[in-house]
């Protein structure tokens, strides 16, 4: 079992050398990815998706990032902003598919949440959450979608995310500054603040899903090894961080989506895939037994799981009870973050995003949410049907769809509006890729238009593709 004590102020030469090496590796990785991300959209988008956990890895390794908590976000924002600006200037149609129905629904939901500050009974905490989340909205919802243009762009992003996310997971696992408290892995940012283990678990789950489901062009032994390392490290991070929902949702979606991502053509392949899944579960149980002690394993006890679920159910019933007795709130909602004042719960929010939108923003905004969910579902099915016979494209779409489902489950376990950026981002990415590919298919240029597959094609799968951007 890993040592749960706080690291000493002084140590042996070997310990100091290990810490210096981790500091060097973390700092070099961050600088290198930010530089590459300023000119490569796939790496910039991977940075956005990995940002929260990367911030914790930097704060645990380099004192400068813990003294200036916003430094990580500012540097990433500059890198992503530079890349987005470059794409706008160099692309013939940079906003093709950008203003999708999903994007507009997302904007309407956030504008509605901000407007409800005028009548929320929890004005103080609501304003603080809004102020904290606004910069992330600009980065994630306004800038990041500009970086995803079509299926090839999506495939490149998934590759970059697997490599970067896996590297962050490994850096967290080997860093002695990450210690156990109350059975959960984390690092002390300062004397009063500790990192959020759910953020690490979320990244671990996303990386695990991407590593298992995405099947890029065959031939790269190095990337295959990177996928394996990323998937294993993601599972271990989920376990050690005590992120129960993150791990269970990731494994569940992996089992459900795997046949869609990698076509199971016969009974032999089916049972082979089933054996792989059973082997993964056995390995997971072995890792848990080896790495977790009594305090950490208690979080996975059925009684603990039921206790957590009962808290969510109580939150939901309390909030719905207030909502149904306030007919005026059916139209405009109770107001953003009203949960903290209209219920007796000690929680800072209900942890159920969809219920929050219904009760705190009203039925009209909930209808907007339903339209957004329907649009994303329809766009994903369209793209999957178009690429059904194309292994690489099919796995990329299935992977992004699984990530969207994963975030959908998470935001209804632990999230609120300004903390659910990746849920909205993945939905916007799905719709933008769909609109981009739909436009290309009108000219017979799309990977989803039914061309003869050829892995030697410059675009990866289609022999007839001659350009990656649509005609003006």
Q: How many CB atoms lie within 10 A of CB 182?
A: 12
pLDDT for 41: 95
Contact between residue 29 and residue 171 where contact means Cβ atoms under 8 Å apart:
yes
**Whole-number pLDDT of residue 306:** 63
Concatenated DSSP letters of 380-401: HHHHHHHTTT-HHHHHHHHHHH
Alpha carbon distance 366, 355 (integer Å): 9
**Contacts for 421 with CB less than 8 Å, ≥ 6 apart:** 133, 136, 137, 140, 141
Q: What confidence score (pLDDT) does residue 298 get?
A: 59
- Per-residue confidence (pLDDT) for residue 240, from 0 to 100: 84
3-state secondary structure of 133: helix
End-to-end CA distance of the chain: 60
Which residues, including other chains, have CB under 8 Å from residue 59's CB and lie 6 or more apart?
65, 66, 69, 72, 187, 189, 195
Query: What span, in angstroms and rounded, lies between the C-alpha atoms of 154 and 148?
Result: 6
How does pLDDT run across 32-90, given as a tens digit for each residue?
999 999 999 999 999 999 999 999 999 998 989 988 889 999 999 999 999 999 999 99
pLDDT for the residue 342: 84
Listed in sequence order, the residues at least 6 apart from 159 whose beta carbon sits closer than 8 Å to its beta carbon are: 42, 214, 216, 223
Residue 469: per-residue pLDDT: 39
**pLDDT at position 461:** 38
What pLDDT is attached to residue 300? Answer: 59
Predicted pLDDT at 294:
54
pLDDT value, residue 451 = 37
- How far apart are alpha carbons 191 and 2 in whole angstroms? 22
pLDDT value of position 43: 96
pLDDT of residue 452: 33
CA distance 250 to 241: 14
Q: Are 274 and 206 in contact (CB under 8 A)?
A: no
CA proximity to 235, closest of 222, 225, 226, 248 = 248
- In 10 A of CB 208, how many CB atoms? 31
Sign of CA dihedral 402, 403, 406, 408: negative
Q: Do the beta carbons of residue 465 and residue 445 sit within 8 Å? A: yes
Average pLDDT, consecutive stretches of 10 residues, N- to C-terminus, the chain (472 residues): 42 62 92 96 96 93 89 95 94 89 97 95 92 95 93 93 95 88 78 82 93 80 87 88 84 88 69 66 63 58 63 84 90 92 81 93 96 96 89 92 96 88 96 88 51 36 37 35
Which pLDDT belongs to residue 88? 92
374-393 in b/e form (b: 16+ CB < 10 A) is ebbeebbebbbebbeebbbb
């Amino acid at each position: 079992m890993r040592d749960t004590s706080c690291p000493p102020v002084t140590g042996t030469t070997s310990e100091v050398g290990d810490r210096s090496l981790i500091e060097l590796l973390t700092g070099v990785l961050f600088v290198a990815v930010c530089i590459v991300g300023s000119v490569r959209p796939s790496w910039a988008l991977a940075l956005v998706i990995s940002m929260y956990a990367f911030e914790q890895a930097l704060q645990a390794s380099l004192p400068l990032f813990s003294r200036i908590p916003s430094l990580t976000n500012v540097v990433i924002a500059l890198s992503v902003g530079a890349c987005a600006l470059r794409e706008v200037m160099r692309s013939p149609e940079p906003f093709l598919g950008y203003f999708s129905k999903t994007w507009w629904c997302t904007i309407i939901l956030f504008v509605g949440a901000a407007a409800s500050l005028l009548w929320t009974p929890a004005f103080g905490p609501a304003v603080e959450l809004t102020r904290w989340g606004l910069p992330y909205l600009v980065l994630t919802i306004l800038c990041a979608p500009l970086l995803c243009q079509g299926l090839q762009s999506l495939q490149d992003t998934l590759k970059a995310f697997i490599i970067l996310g896996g590297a962050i997971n490994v850096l967290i696992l080997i860093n002695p500054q990450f210690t156990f408290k109350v059975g959960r892995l984390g690092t002390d940012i300062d004397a009063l603040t500790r990192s959020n283990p759910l953020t690490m678990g979320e990244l671990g789950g996303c990386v695990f899903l991407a590593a298992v489901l995405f099947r890029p062009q065959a031939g790269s032994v190095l990337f295959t090894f990177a996928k394996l390392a990323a998937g294993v490290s993601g599972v271990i991070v989920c376990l050690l961080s005590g992120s129960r929902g993150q791990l269970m949702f990731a494994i569940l979606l992996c089992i459900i989506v795997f046949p869609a991502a990698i076509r199971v053509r016969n009974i032999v392949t089916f049972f082979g895939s089933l054996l792989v899944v059973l082997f993964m579960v056995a390995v997971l149980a072995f890792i848990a037994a080896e790495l977790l002690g009594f305090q950490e394993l208690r979080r996975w006890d059925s009684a603990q799981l039921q206790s957590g679920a009962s808290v969510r159910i109580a939150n939901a019933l309390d909030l719905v009870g207030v909502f149904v007795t306030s007919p005026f709130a059916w139209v405009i909602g109770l107001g953003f973050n009203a949960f903290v004042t209209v219920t007796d719960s000690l929680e800072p929010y209900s942890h159920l995003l969809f219920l929050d939108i219904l009760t705190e923003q009203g039925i009209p905004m909930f209808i907007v949410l339903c339209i957004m969910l329907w649009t994303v579902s329809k766009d994903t099915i369209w793209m999957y049907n178009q690429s059904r016979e194309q292994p690489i494209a099919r796995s990329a779409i299935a992977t992004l769809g699984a990530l969207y489902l994963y975030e959908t489950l998470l935001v209804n376990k632990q999230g609120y509006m300004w903390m659910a950026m990746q849920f909205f981002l993945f939905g916007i990415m799905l719709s933008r890729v769909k609109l981009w590919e739909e436009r290309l298919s009108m000219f017979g240029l799309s990977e989803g238009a039914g061309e003869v597959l050829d892995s030697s094609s410059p675009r990866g799968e289609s022999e007839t593709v001659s350009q990656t951007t649509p005609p003006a």
